[in-house]
Structure 1
Amino acid sequence: MGRHKQPEIRERILDACVDHALVHGLPDRLEPFATASGTSARMLIYHFGTRDALLRETLRRARRRQRDFFGDLICPRPDEPYPVTLRRAWQVMTGPAGRPYLTMFGRLRENAGQRLWPGFRRESTTDWLEPFEDGMRSMGRPELATLVLAVVRGLIMDIETTGDVSRADRAFDDFLTALALVTETPATADRRHRA
């Protein structure tokens, strides 16, 4: 009689593989994952079936972590204006805590014919739309969520390509200033002009 798989061991291994992939990228061989998870390549196959199945699950778990982490960052808060929330979210997403996710999924997005997650490019283009709509709804302009998403994605791609974070930060600040002007109420605009 064979051994029964233990889900808690599989989960621990998967978390260790995600931690490794976020720092080092997806490996070409199983050995780096085996070392990172404290097991053997044979046990990885035992728990996940194939290398590609393990890589797919690693990507999906990392994406779930990113969605939870970034989703919390861009969630509107009742005690602050949404542009303030966006500015803080931008700093964290493009800072040390967020960069591993941007690097991992930037590479995946660039690989148009990639086999591990068909449809990722489309999914990664639209999966942040709803949280941004919620945030922009707090400013009375949920229809601007596509614009916010496009600016965030574009500037992230700029950082990935050029590494010029300070220029992208200035551009994002300029965007937030413009966004505040576009979304201000007539009464707010009138008070600003009188000041």
Structure 2
Amino acid sequence: MPRPPDPAKRRDLLNRVREYVIRNGLADLSLRPLARALGTSDRMLLYYFGTKERMVAEALALDERRPLLRARDLLDPTASPKNPAELRRFVEQTWQQLSAPNMRARLPLYLEIMTASLLHPDRYGPVMRDVLTEWTGLLISVFRGLGMAEARARTEAALLVDALFGLLTAPLADGDWDRSDAALHTLLDRLEPGWHNT
């Protein structure tokens, strides 16, 4: 009977995989070079994780500073926004965390995952679907808490999530974070009045 994987070793490997992927990206990620960099073998990685995609997804989910995979952690359930002004503050605070200089080095990886999920939906599609589902679900819950009907809450949540992702993507290409920051505040100026009409 084969020995079960060592949980401590598995966790250590995941931490090191995460740092490797953040530094090197996904585009040319291959198991053998990754295994060499970690001082192990590709067979050992497959033994612990089954597939490369599962390993990457788990490694990213472990990241306590992961900027896009921690939606639920950003909102204390006991302090959910109770009115449009509080929701706006939450969105602005979230934007500040996601666009902070110390987070920007990690964001290109998520753009890569988004692209890879389009090109290889069977491999990375579930990762992006989980991200979008978590963010959208969180905001649907907030909008419902403001008294919106389900259909409208879903539309408002999709609008905010899609806008935030777009505003994070553009400055990764040209470095103009000030433009995206101004665009976010302009968007909120236009959306917040409508949130009062539930």
- TM-score range, shorter-chain basis? 0.7 to 0.9
1:30 is the counterpart of 2:32: yes
Give the structure-1-normalised TM-score: 0.73
| Equivalent runs, 1:91-170 vs 2, <5 Å | 91-111=96-116, 112-114=118-120, 116-120=123-127, 122-141=129-148, 142-143=153-154, 144-170=156-182
Q: CA deviation at 1:168?
A: 0.6
State the 1:145 CA deviation. Answer: 0.9
Larger-gyration structure (1/2): 1
Letter paired with 1:17: V
C-alpha contact 1:18 1:61 (8 A) present in aligned 2: yes
In structure 1, what is the equivalent of residue 51 of structure 2?
A: 53
User: Cα distance 1:5–1:151, how it changes in 2: closer, same or farther (>3 A)?
Assistant: closer
The answer to whether the 8 A contact 1:18-1:58 is kept is yes
Superposed CA RMSD: 3.3
Alignment of 1:6 onto 2:6:
yes
Match of 1:72 in 2: 73
Aligned equivalents of 1:160, 1:104: Cα separation in 2: 11
Q: Distance in 2 between matches of 1:2 and 1:120?
A: 30
1:84 aligns with 2:89: yes
Matches within 5 A, 1:175-186: 175-184=187-196
**SS of residue paired to 1:5:** coil
Letter in 1 for 2:95: W
Q: Which structure 2 segments of 5+ residues have no match?
A: none
Q: Tell me how far apart the structure 1 counterparts of residues 143 and 76 of structure 2 sit (CA, whole Å).
A: 10
Higher relative contact order (CA 8 A, sep 6+): 2
- Fraction of identical pairs, as percent: 18
TM-score normalised by length of structure 2: 0.72
How many residues align structurally? 182
Structure 1 position 34, deviation (Å) = 4.2
